Every structure is written in structure tokens, then in C-alpha cells.
Amino acid sequence: MKIPSGMLPLLAGILFSASIVPVPAVGQDKLSLKTVVIDPGHGGHDSGCISPDKKTYEKNLTLSISKLFAEKIRSAYPDVKVIMTRNDDRYVTLSGRADIANNAGADLFVSIHINAQAKGNSASGYSIHCLGQSSRQGNDLFGKNLDLVQRENSVILLEDDYQTKYQGFDPSDPQSYIFFSLMQNAHLEHSLIFAEDIAEAMKGGPITRNRGVSQDPFWVLWRTAMPAVLVEVGFISNAADLQAMRSPQGREKIADNLLKAFKSFKSRYDGSASVSRQPAPETKENKETKVADEPEKTEETKPAPVQDAPGGQYAIQILATSKKMKSSDAFFRGYEPTEIRAGKLYKYLILPDADLSATRKKWKDVQKKFPGCFIVLREGETLTRIQ
């Protein structure tokens, strides 16, 4: 598909912002999670999903849960700055939500939503979403979650002059989502790990069904230049889920579980430019998203060596994803990728070379096709980020 010309400037700007990876320079303070933005979905004239009895609006539930979550973080971590995209019943555009996070230099973005079943009321449970192609084998951008993605992105249509603001993006047209695959989220690895933390923590109820972690083209995630997840905490169309979310005790427990996930993620994020996660034991609930049994190897930020790699090779990492890719996939643009399995992720490298200077020259060209890519030193199955 040819990308509409009006979307190219917007795409270029977002590709640039998303290629900024928070890796501390040698001698500087270690990476730490200092600012988090919590985004209560919908608001104002955008009510979001509505309960079958028409008495409960998604916008009110997301605001209540988000406020509880924010206060719990502030109480547990006084030094962490917590920013809300809205603190009351007001409308905030999707771009505006992302702008708040980007302008604050946030280290983490969490968007809270409530799901709904288009027909019937049997669907239940929570799900967590990161930017990208579907992480489920056999699904693509237009698979299982397209209806959900289109519904959440459709709030764009409520904005005045949305065709100009979003430069040709049509949330109802599946072809508009193709250009999402042109952008690789530099923070995908952290986003996926935090998503898995939430999936594990939310098992404590009150909504216990884990619908898993998936990668989907949500606009608000696409615009954020930091690790970002969108959480659908339950189904407003399901009687049991709705009862739990209507209950003050239920919302309190959901916020407690989100805090538990935040604590787990922050403890590994702080002091490291890369987060490693021990995969949770396989259960009936998380079996669908499990792709590996071994713990993920940790990448460390080190000074770039002045000599060529003595016991390994330099390469350019262009992708980290929970979806196993075929080397013939069009995503690789004709490059022959090397696959490294690291915990729940598959990492893909191209253009291996023992000469660092040669790799740096190649990297400049590769960046044009894969914004956010970076150079690594590969020693066996261990990757060390260089640049």
C-alpha cells in the first residue's frame, strides 16, 4: 500500500521521537524510572464503552482506577513523579495524551481502558497491549484485536478537523494501519516486559481471566517515545467483570495489582539500560503468550571498545519482538537476519562484522529503514549494546 503523502511528515516526526532510547552515557547516573504518566481512557463527551444497563461509563471507571493507581505509586515512591493525562471528566485528544507524556520526558506510559464485547456478554478478563504486530502466532495487524483497536482509535473522529490533525489516518480503514509496521518501537522490549508484569500481577483478581499480552496498533502507543502499555482491565459488557469494577473494593484491588506490576518492573528497570525478566511458570492462563522457558539475558551499557571484537562480532539489532519471524518476512527489507532468543523475546540482528568502524558506517544507512536500531556486540548468545 502506498502511504498517503499527507501522512509522511507525521510519520517522519514520530519515527524520530521514537528512536530516542534512554541509554545513559558512560560515567553518568544509571537509568532509573523517575516519571510515569497514567492515562485514564476517554473522558468528557467521549464516554467510551457503556454498560448494558446504561448506568456505567468506561470514562468514569478508568478515571477512578487511574487515580487510585497514581496515589499508590506516590505513596510507595515519593521520588517518582506521577502525571495524569486527566484528573477529571474532560476530553483529551489521543495526540494530546501522548504529548503530555513526551513533553514530560516520561519513563513509562500506562493507558487504562475497559473492554466491551460487540455482541453478547460472554467475553471477560483483562488484556495488555503494546505497540506493533500481533504477538500471537498466525495473526497479523488485522487479526484478532482489530475491532478493539479500531474502537479505541475511533475517538479521533470526535475531534474537530481530525482529517488535518491526523493527516489522512482513518481509524475505520484497515489499510491505514499498514504504515504502523514501518515503525519499530525502540522501547518494545521494556514495554513487553512491563506488560507481562501486569498480566502476572492481575491474576490476584478481582477479574482473574488473563487474556494475555498482544501487540497492536493503538495510536496513543504509537505516539509515545517511552515504554508504553494499554491495559483493558475487564469487560463492561460482562456481568461479573462489571460488578467487580463497580465495586470500590474491586477497583482498589485492581489498582493494588497494577502497583504490584509497577514495583516489579521498576526494581529491574532502575540502574540498567535493559531489563531482564525471569519468565513466569506456565499456567493455563498464560500458556498462550509463553514463547520461551529460559530467562532473558541482560544487556549492559558499556563504553564502545576502541578495538575490533576479539571473541565476537558486531551487528545491528533491528527488532525485538515476542513473535517469531521468518527470515523471508518483508519486514526485513531483504536483509538476512540472525535470530537470538532471549527469554520471551526474539531479537533480530543484521550485517554481522568484526570491524566496529565498518558496522558504524552500515548503521547510518540502516537507520533510514529501521529507525531506533542500534549496534550490539554479540558474544555467543549474549548481546551488549554499543551504540
Contact 217, 132 (CB under 8 A): yes
126 pLDDT more than 70: yes
Q: Render pLDDT for 334-347 as a digit per residue (tens, 0 to 9).
A: 899 999 887 667 88
Q: Render pLDDT for 91-112 as a digit per residue (tens, 0 to 9).
A: 998 888 888 998 898 999 999 9
Mean pLDDT of 265-278: 62
Mean pLDDT of 252-276: 82
83 pLDDT more than 90: yes
β-strand partners of 355: none
- 354 or 169, greater pLDDT: 354
- Three cell numbers written together for 87: 484528573
With cut-offs at 50, 70 and 90, classify the pLDDT of residue 148.
low
Percent of the chain at pLDDT > 70 equals 64
Closest residue by Cα to residue 382 from 293, 308, 309, 321? 309
Grid-cell match 558504524, residue found = 360
With cut-offs at 50, 70 and 90, classify the pLDDT of residue 358.
very high
Angle between helices 58-76 and 239-246 (to 10 degrees): 50
122 contacts: CB under 8 Å, gap ≥ 6: 238
Mean pLDDT of 132-161: 52
Q: What is the pLDDT of residue 294?
A: 33
With cut-offs at 50, 70 and 90, classify the pLDDT of residue 27.
very low
Helices (H) and strands (E) in the chain, counts: 10, 11
Q: What is the pLDDT of residue 387?
A: 57
- 45 or 172, greater pLDDT: 45
Mean pLDDT of 286-292: 35
271 pLDDT more than 60: no
Contact 212, 199 (CB under 8 A): yes
Lowest model confidence (mean pLDDT) among 71-80, 265-274, 365-374: 265-274
Contact 276, 297 (CB under 8 A): yes
Q: What is the pLDDT of residue 310?
A: 56
Q: What is the pLDDT of residue 244?
A: 97
Mean per-residue pLDDT over the chain, rounded:
75
Q: What is the pLDDT of residue 136?
A: 43
* Most distant CA atoms of the chain, gap in Å: 69
Q: Which domains does the chain carry?
A: 5-289 (3.40.630.40), 313-385 (3.30.70.1070)
Mean pLDDT of 185-189: 69
**What 3-state DSSP class applies to 43?**
strand
45 pLDDT more than 60: yes
Distance (Å, whole) CA 270 – CA 258: 18
Percent of the chain at pLDDT > 90 equals 41
**What 3-state DSSP class applies to 160?**
coil
Distance (Å, whole) CA 237 – CA 123: 8
Contact 41, 86 (CB under 8 A): no
With cut-offs at 50, 70 and 90, classify the pLDDT of residue 160.
low
Q: Render pLDDT for 309-326 as a digit per residue (tens, 0 to 9).
A: 556 899 998 877 766 788
125 pLDDT more than 70: yes
